[in-house]
Chain A
Amino acid sequence: ETGVTQSPTHLIKTRGQQVTLRCSSQSGHNTVSWYQQALGQGPQFIFQYYREEENGRGNFPPRFSGLQFPNYSSELNVNALELDDSALYLCASSSRSGTGDYGYTFGSGTRLTVV
Chain B
Amino acid sequence: AQSVTQPDIHITVSEGASLELRCNYSYGATPYLFWYVQSPGQGLQLLLKYFSGDTLVQGIKGFEAEFKRSQSSFNLRKPSVHWSDAAEYFCAVASTGGFKTIFGAGTRLFVKA
CA distance A84 to B23 in the complex (A): 28
CA distance A58 to B42 in the complex (A): 22
- Across the interface, A41 reaches (CB within 8 A) one of B43, B99, B106, namely B106
For the complex formed, measure the closest distance between the CB of A77 and the CB atoms of chain B, giving whole angstroms.
20
Query: Which residues of B lie under 8 Å from residue A31 when comparing CB positions?
Result: 99
Is the beta-carbon distance between B44 and A45 smaller than 8 angstroms?
A: no
Query: Which residues of B lie under 8 Å from residue A94 when comparing CB positions?
Result: 98
* Tally of B interface residues using CB under 8 Å: 26
Is the beta-carbon distance between A101 and B90 smaller than 8 angstroms?
A: no
Query: Which residues of B lie under 8 Å from residue A108 when comparing CB positions?
Result: 41-43
Residue A62 is within 8 A (CB to CB) of chain B in the complex: no
Closest chain A residue to B43 by CB distance?
A: A106
Residues of chain B touching chain A, judged by Cβ–Cβ distance below 8 Å, are 4, 32, 34, 36, 41-46, 49, 51, 90, 94-106
Residues of chain A touching chain B, judged by Cβ–Cβ distance below 8 Å, are 4, 31, 33, 35, 41-45, 48, 50, 55-56, 58, 90, 92, 94, 96, 99-109, 111
